[in-house]
Chain A
């Protein structure tokens, strides 16, 4: 079945450590997005990519980095510069055909220890 796979489901980060969240899709979608969700809050856009080897900053990109070397993959690195990384991270993708909304992955819950 087609879908988006995020891993790991839970991730613990020590102070000063970089961690990478994986996002892989087999939907042949062109556009991919990373959102962050804090408790009781909506989703805030971190980065997005519309084509391979190209990506743009969202509203809260500071302390994060991404790459898009393959259409299927859009990993997110949470760097030590992100001072408050504890949150639920959601990856989404979207086809350019039609106006249908996103398909989301199952999310990664990141906690600083």
Chain B
């Protein structure tokens, strides 16, 4: 079973700080990596995706990918209370072919305290 692992948290940071969320995956052939934000009782929404090693920035969010270490992270700069949510890491494995199946981690709960 291909796995995606996240620390369930909660991760607590003060408002304005940088929140760092981490994810590791077991399938070395994984191709695409996604971060979803999920508010309590709501469905996940896509906030970042990354395919190549290195950093990808979008506003206050930066995704970082290291395929050699099988590690993907999400940094949230200037954290706001509205960022408080569960963040799901999802991976499209190398064995997914053209099915597009994503494997999800269990999510990390982020709490941003005013």
Residues of A within 8 A of B105 (CB): 42
Q: Quick check: A48 and B101 within 8 Å, CB to CB? A: yes
Interface size class of A (residues with CB under 8 A): 20 to 34
Q: Cβ of A80 < 8 Å from any Cβ of B?
A: no
Q: Quick check: A40 and B8 within 8 Å, CB to CB? A: yes
Q: Quick check: A42 and B46 within 8 Å, CB to CB? A: no
Q: Cβ of A104 < 8 Å from any Cβ of B?
A: yes
From B32, B43, B45, B88, contact of A42 by CB (8 A): B88
Distance (Å) between the CB of A107 and the closest chain B CB?
Answer: 5
Q: Quick check: A56 and B99 within 8 Å, CB to CB? A: yes
Q: Quick check: A50 and B99 within 8 Å, CB to CB? A: yes
Could you jot down 23 A-B contacts, CB within 8 Å? A35-B104, A40-B8, A40-B107, A41-B106, A42-B4, A42-B88, A43-B88, A43-B102, A48-B99, A48-B100, A50-B98, A50-B99, A50-B100, A56-B99, A59-B1, A90-B43, A90-B44, A96-B98, A99-B49, A99-B92, A100-B49, A101-B32, A101-B34
The residues of B with any CB-CB pair to A shorter than 8 Å are 1, 4, 6, 8, 31-32, 34, 36, 42-46, 49, 51, 88, 90, 92, 98-107
Residues of A within 8 A of B51 (CB): 99
Q: Cβ of A102 < 8 Å from any Cβ of B?
A: yes
Q: Cβ of A76 < 8 Å from any Cβ of B?
A: no
Residues of A within 8 A of B32 (CB): 99, 101
Q: With A and B bound together, what is the CA distance between A50 and B98 in angstroms?
A: 9
Q: Cβ of A45 < 8 Å from any Cβ of B?
A: yes
Residues of A within 8 A of B43 (CB): 90, 104-107
Also in contact, A43 and B42, with CB within 8 A (given A31-B99, A56-B99)? no
Q: With A and B bound together, what is the CA distance between A101 and B50 in angstroms?
A: 10
Q: With A and B bound together, what is the CA distance between A45 and B104 in angstroms?
A: 9
